[in-house]
Structure 1
Amino acid sequence: MSHFVPSARAEHVLRTGRIIDADETAATMVQRVTKALARQEIEFSGQKAGAQFAEAFESALCSREIVMSTPVMTNAGRYIDRPLTACTVPTVDFDPVSSRRLREEIIRLHEQGMGTGFNLDETDDPVATLQFLNKVAFESASNGREDRPVGNMAVLSVRHPKIYEFINAKVDASSDGTDWKFNISVNIDGAFMEAVEAGHGIELDDGRQVDPRHLFDEICGAATLCADPGLVFLDRMNARNPIPAMGAYTTTAPCAEVGLIAGETCQFGYINVRKFVTTDTAGRAIIHFTRLAQTTVLLTRALDNCLEISQGKLGGTRRKHVSQQKRKMGIGLCGVADALSVTGLPYDSDMARTLMADVLSFVNFTSKEESVRLAEERGPFGAMHTMVIGNRHTETPGHIERLYGHLTSGTVAADEWCKLSRHIASTGMLRNVSTIALPPTGRSALIIDASTGIEPHFDTFSANEEVLAALERVVQANYGESIYSDSATHSQPVSEILASASDISPAGHIGMASALQRYTDEAISKTINLPLGSTADDVRGVYCAGYKANMSGVTVYVDGSRKAQPRKLRQLTR
């Protein structure tokens, strides 16, 4: 019997987000999801293994060590026709003849719980197309049949003839009353950034010569005003694409954490890092890596079960084919800020970045070891054998060795990555083409009262009571201060520990993101917060720093650039 009891805030998210039925409780939702995933385990491994999986999985959910993405919690065991996938790319082309079919496909995908990504490079008028897509998304959100608010992403090349119009498509949203359901990003490559730095002109796709610095300034100015567009570096994401033979990534998930080809999907689940912080015999905070390994193995297996469920429910032969060929999953993190708080480490510190890189490299390596075992039990992803050429896992050096074979963390040595990669290449045994992504975790983290994704606390004092109590203990023990005393009286170390998103410098945000990008299969969803009054020059500095830090994309948010934004508790009580 499930003992998952949500907080009042989590209950509100579950109810208003329609993650649970009106006659369901959070505990029965946990049982529903567990039963659905265990059914797949039984089909693969038998009744005994299925029962063991169910017991371990339900325990991990109830203890808040893991949480699944909202499509899994909303759909698993509840709807016979809905997959458990979080995002996809529609397969219908942009043209007047197909507009009705495209509209129908988008609405169907949204009603099933999937966000959508689009590349507008082949459109003559990307702004008009964006407005059409946004209208469809708004119509879908308003029809009452969507259980979850889904996101959407539109990407356009920096060399498109209508790039200036696209850049400014959302600038007037706050004044013209447009309700936007889309994030937008400009796809920028290394040659463009080199041209910005050198000051020489570039050529748009229609042959016009433009000043790249002026174009980049336009991007930065728009992002300052409305937080869009973000930047995405698809050339970098495609350098990390394990199966280029199936196509290059042309767009991303709504929050840019994974690259997508037409029809591609992904399943997500998250590890709550806070739950693996413990103390050693000397009372020092450490990560319990033995339990973290067990939980990573469990979540890898659970997400593969989610894939199996989804493949029987994905509409269209293309979407099902891509899923079978790749079996992409994304294990992410949440509770990072909580974990750092209870260890007494400032988010913006070398020790914090090193600790979280150690955690992610360990989760990444462990998930891939389990994916090898799953392939031995269930068979590898389809393209492992159907696409020998253009499958980087079978090359020399192999995909994993290329990505991680030069990296040594505190938990995984470089030669361990190389050995694993060579084993995969020689045996052809890997169940999932990729296993790690870092989405924002949004409502999933709220359901277990964890901090979202890899983000710092938006407001440290909105952390759950257990985290605040642990933070108070560590600050009292180490500095003789209270976190609740007047902030003006805090010493510098305590101020750094209590720093929230808007207090942390852009370099601090980028530092954490770049440290974790090294151990992420594709990309990271991470917002760089800037204070009220920041200028386009400030945004330019962030975008350039993110590029130089080898990130796959950069998103900024200037405080106050949107009317609807959360406020800190201390702001609300003034």
Structure 2
Amino acid sequence: MESITAQEQKVYSQDEAYKASLEYFKGDDLAARVWVNKYALKDSFGALYELTPDDMHKRISREIYRIEQKYANPLSESEIFELIKNFKYIIPQGSPMTGIGNPFQIASLSNCFVIGNSGMSDSYGGIMKIDQEQVQLMKRRGGVGHDLSHIRPKGSPVKNSALTSTGIVPFMERFSNSTREVAQDGRRGALMLSVSIQHPDAEDFIDAKLEQGKVTGANVSVRINDRFMEAVEASSSFKQQYPVNSKEPLFVKEIEAERLWKKIVHNAWKSAEPGILFWDTIIRESLPDCYADLGYETVSTNPCGEIPLCPYDSCRLLAINLFSYVERPFTKDASFNWVLFNKHVAIAQRMMDDIIDLELEKIDGILIKINEDPEEEEVKRTEKNLWLNIRTKAEEGRRTGVGITAEGDMLAALGLRYGSKEGSVFSIEVHKNLAIAAYRSSVQLAKERGAFSIYDAEREKDNPFMLRLKEADEQLYYDMTEYGRRNIALLTIAPTGTTSLMSQTTSGVEPVFMPVYKRRRKVNPNDKEARVDFVDEIGDSWEEYIVFHHKFKDWMEINGYDITNNYTQEELEELIKKSPYYKATSNDVDYLEKVRMQGAIQKWVDHSISVTINMPNDVSEELVGELYMEAWKAGCKGVTVYRDGSRSGVLIAMDDKGKEEVKENESLPFPTIRPQVLEADVVRFQNNKDKWIAFIGLIDGRPYEIFTGLSDDDDGILIPRWVSQGSIIKNKEADGGSRYDFQFKNQRGYKTTIEGLSHKFNPEYWNYAKLISSTLRHGMPIEKVVDLIGSLQLDEAINTWKNGVARALKRYIPDGTEVHKQKCSSCNSTNLHYQEGCLTCSDCGSSKCG
């Protein structure tokens, strides 16, 4: 299957690869380290088999050429290499770049998957099956999405010992926790959870992530239909029901649409979630949904939202670098090479179809691995069926994900400002040409290789996207009806992540405008020490400054400015104002114009567009609501708003009137006398081979005290696995001493109390826990408490306990909390912060959760 083996490969040291890659990336330390750590071919022992990205691109070219030889009119290996080398024209994204031609890793080439069951499947069996499928995909590097609308609403009758359903939220926690469990090199998988706005638990779903420490391993989005949006506009009522699409629902309730809408807007403004999926628009425009009765009904999206998928379908991603088609960039004679662009789009679609064949080989390898595993067939059954289902969808529909990167740079190089009406008109024309060229290529592939097996022109004849293609190129449409097309759906716009970081140094690629351009600081773009001072002063990431430096330097050189001058602050400001990037940052762009542009572009993208609207901290909730409403009207399929700082330190408290009060980044004063009853979280974890349990007393969502030790049923800690919350109650003993009890409610509401919590664990642990609780009660920031615990010099026997306490508390560190005294193990950056309890590198994205 693979064309290389370890015996055929020369082995390089980490230092050799880093030095060679540093030269390849023209001195860009970050890009070199990201490539070596994330994408260079390596085995499970860390041996490197590639020296620079040239080796990687040769590996990919060799494999795609091998597939090309199976079909008529094959591309040559050199043709493929010339298109992908230096990240210049065509850029395979993460999973394909890592996995193609990789004999050392049994993993899929797909970037994203959606899973689900047939019918409602509202049972623990169905839920547990989905949970296992999610884990099985994440362990092989896949991002996963699934919908929760099939779960019965809270309070519904069930025929088990609980008698009534717990609703959606507890299962959100289950799936979130599974995500956090599965990590590769400290990096977690990505998860999208969605629910229909018609579901009676939709409001609980929307609120679930606002409380700190809850559902921290998932993105969440709400599937909103046109009827709800119309009810919001009309200030009328809206019917929720279960099952959500049933003509004879079992449960119905009427709600005020405007009230729930304001809740969605408020939460998005406050915490950047939930995202919104305009579901009727997605389904109406979806070509795969023309085959819904054959198993292609779209049910959810991948974690970034750009690929709506049916259960067990998956997608691989590839980006076309728009900047590279600008001739004479940043000059008055700049132009876009449409001929070359259309030619390369056709080849990119062809390469994507080849990658599907490579993916089928990878899936076969996974199935062989499963069959060879020593477990019984019953144990392996869910995993095996999962990959068989994925293989069927990949072979039958042959879905691809061709997209773009560097759109903003393309516009700037042409003298057009991102977010302007002129820039939007040009972008729409680019995406229209992209769609026509890609679909024409898929029709040509159908002539040469055969159409996807269930193609039926009659099913698609009234689809709005297909009708636009027909109007734009009638000959293409009639050729399609005659020959079919090779792929069920083709296009998307996905975030390009670290691949854009690597490509921007060699070709100017970077898909977003960084707000660094607005910073008014004295800096010589050619002075490394000044660059470091600049980064330290403005507080932005090294990646952001690298982008600024290369973009601005390129523009200066092209326009004849001396980059070695030590410009004054005033001179630099004047130069920035002349740059095409001026007034094109995320804070400068007209937000409503941006969503209108997205809606217009969306009409030429058959999947979706991953777009987050970045807004300053002081933006109003009303503007966020207006933006969401405009996005629906403009024809967007989805939108997410990120208000600067909105994910940092969000805590929920309730005042004495029961009204929600949100406090950000405050050191919350605790009462001087401990309340008799504290709400508490139960946190379970495994450290080495030991199982641990922690009981964390909370005030306003912030840790106040901690009891923790080995989880030992023989010692009397008989707490069911499903218990994650309860109360810690302080009681007086007969001798006047204090006793701490833990109390929880079962699913019927009956209370169970475990007395003497403080005496259940090793006395030495308890003494140290009292010390740690004291620091928590006196308001020490949680990240400082974690640092303090890490610095304790304890006997080797209780170091495992110390690590467990730190792990239990990390989940409460506010997102965005910066760490200055540690280095990233992947790229040595000191630009680290906490995100969802994990120490995350802002530069390379590496995340350590242990």
Q: TM-score range by the shorter chain?
A: 0.7 to 0.9
Equivalent position to 1:135, from 177, 194, 200: 177
| Among candidates 46, 53, 62, match of residue 85 of structure 2 | 62
Q: Which among 322, 332, 338 is matched to residue 273 of structure 1?
A: 322
**Which residue matches 2:138?**
110
User: 2:223, 2:480 → 1: CA distance?
Assistant: 32
Give the one of 456, 468, 492 matched to 1:403.
Answer: 468
Query: Which residue of structure 1 lines up, in the alignment, with residue 795 of structure 2?
Result: none
CA-to-aligned-CA distance 1:138-185 (integer Å, 9 cap, x gap):
1012xx368x65422111111211111111111123xx3x57232111
| In the alignment, structure 1 residue 312 sits paired with structure 2 residue 361 | yes
Higher mean displacement: 501-510 or 485-494: 485-494
Pick one of 29, 32, 35 that aligns with 1:8: 29
Note if contact 2:323-2:409 (Cα within 8 Å) is conserved in structure 1. yes
Where in structure 2 are the equivalents of 1:13-52 lying within 5 Å?
13-17=34-38, 20-21=41-42, 22=46, 23=48, 24-25=50-51, 26-45=53-72, 49-50=74-75, 52=76
Go from structure 1 to structure 2 and tell me whether the alpha carbon gap of 1:104 and 1:202 turns closer, same or farther (over 3 Å shift): closer
Tell me the TM-score normalised to structure 1 length: 0.86
How far apart, CA to CA, are the structure 1 residues paired with 2:515 and 2:598? Answer: 16
Which one has the bigger helix percentage? 1
Which residue of structure 1 aligns with residue 272 of structure 2? 227
Distance 1:487 1:95 in 2: 63
SS at structure 2 position matched to 1:448: helix
Cα RMSD, aligned residues only: 3.1
* 1: CA distance, partners of 2:604 / 2:616: 29
Of 71, 91, 95, the residue aligned with 2:123 is 95
SS state of the match for residue 182, structure 2? helix
Q: Secondary structure at the match of 1:557?
A: strand
Q: Which amino acid aligns with 1:278?
A: E
Structure possessing the higher radius of gyration over alpha carbons: 2
Change (3 A) 1:358 1:241: same
Structure 1's 66 and 498: CA in aligned 2 closer, same or farther, altered over 3 A? farther
- Residue in structure 2 matched with residue 409 of structure 1 by the alignment: none
What's the secondary structure of 1:17's corresponding residue?
A: helix
Output aligned runs, 1:526-537, within 5 Å: 526-537=611-622
Question: What residue in structure 2 maps to residue 240 of structure 1?
Answer: 285
- Superposition pairs for residues 431-446 of structure 1, below 5 Å? 431-446=486-501
1:486–1:530 Cα change, 3 Å: farther
1:166 paired residue among 205, 210, 227: 205
Whether the aligned pair in 1 keeps the contact of 2:305 and 2:638 (CA below 8 Å) is: yes
Letter of the structure 1 residue corresponding to residue 498 of structure 2: R
Compute the TM-score of the two structures, normalised by the length of structure 2: 0.59
After alignment, is 466-475 or 231-240 more displaced? Answer: 466-475
How many residues in Structure 1 have an aligned counterpart in Structure 2? 538
**Equivalent position to 2:262, from 194, 204, 217:** 217
Query: What CA distance in whole angstroms lies between the structure 2 residues aligned with 1:291 and 1:445?
Result: 21
Q: How much has 1:332 moved relative to structure 2?
A: 0.7
Alignment CA distance shift 1:103-1:516 (3 Å): same
1:472 corresponds, among 522, 534, 556, to 556
- Whose RCO is larger (CA < 8 A, sep 6+)? 1
Output aligned runs, 1:371-382, within 5 Å: 371-382=442-453
- Distance in 1 (alpha carbons) for counterparts of 2:416 and 2:360: 42
Shift of 1:342: 2.2
Deviations 1:382-420 (A, max 9, x none): 111xx566x31xx3x5765413345xxxxxxx2x2x321
For residue 526 of structure 1, report the CA deviation from its aligned partner: 0.7
Find the partner of 1:356 among 407, 421, 427.
427
Contact 1:241 1:248 (8 Å CA) reproduced: no
Alpha-carbon shift at residue 222 of structure 1 (Å): 0.6
CA spacing shift, 1:344–1:77, aligned 2, 3 Å = same
Give the one of 441, 446, 454 matched to 1:370. Answer: 441
Q: How far does residue 556 in structure 1 lie from its aligned partner after superposition?
A: 0.4
Q: Are residue 515 (structure 1) and residue 600 (structure 2) matched?
A: yes
Counterpart-to-counterpart distance in 1, 2:122 and 2:40: 32
After TM superposition, give the deviation of residue 131 of structure 1 in Å: 1.0
**1:422 equivalent in structure 2:** 478
1:78 aligns with 2:124: no
Q: Please say if residues 234 and 250 of structure 1, whose CA atoms lie closer than 8 Å, have aligned partners that are also in contact.
A: no
CA drift of 1:541 comes to 1.1
**Residue 193 of structure 2 is aligned with which of 154, 158, 161?**
154
Report the AA paired with residue 178 of structure 2. Answer: V
**In 1, are the aligned partners of 2:206 and 2:274 still within 8 Å (CA)?**
yes
Distance change in 2, residues 1:17/1:484 (3 Å): farther
Q: Which amino acid aligns with 1:115?
A: G
How many angstroms apart in 2 are the aligned matches of 1:85 and 1:321? 14
Q: 1:96 to 1:486 in 2, by over 3 A?
A: farther
Structure 2 letter corresponding to 1:109:
L
**For 1:533, what is the secondary structure of its paired residue?**
coil
Q: Structure 2: which amino acid aligns with 1:421?
A: Y
Distance 1:400 1:215, change over 3 A: closer
Cα distance 1:277–1:428, how it changes in 2: closer, same or farther (>3 A)?
A: same
Aligned CA distance change for structure 1 residues 37 and 458 (closer, same or farther; 3 Å): farther
Percent of pairs identical after alignment? 21
- In structure 1, give the amino acid aligned to 2:313: E
1:551 correspondence with 2:636: yes
Contact 2:490 2:607 in 1 (8 A): no
Cα distance between partner residues in 1 of 2:558 and 2:415: 6
Q: CA–CA distance in 2 between the matches of 1:238 and 1:99?
A: 25
Residue 39 of structure 1 and its aligned partner are, at CA, apart by 1.2
Judged with a 3 Å threshold, the aligned counterparts in structure 2 of structure 1 residues 333 and 539 are, in CA distance, closer, same or farther, namely same
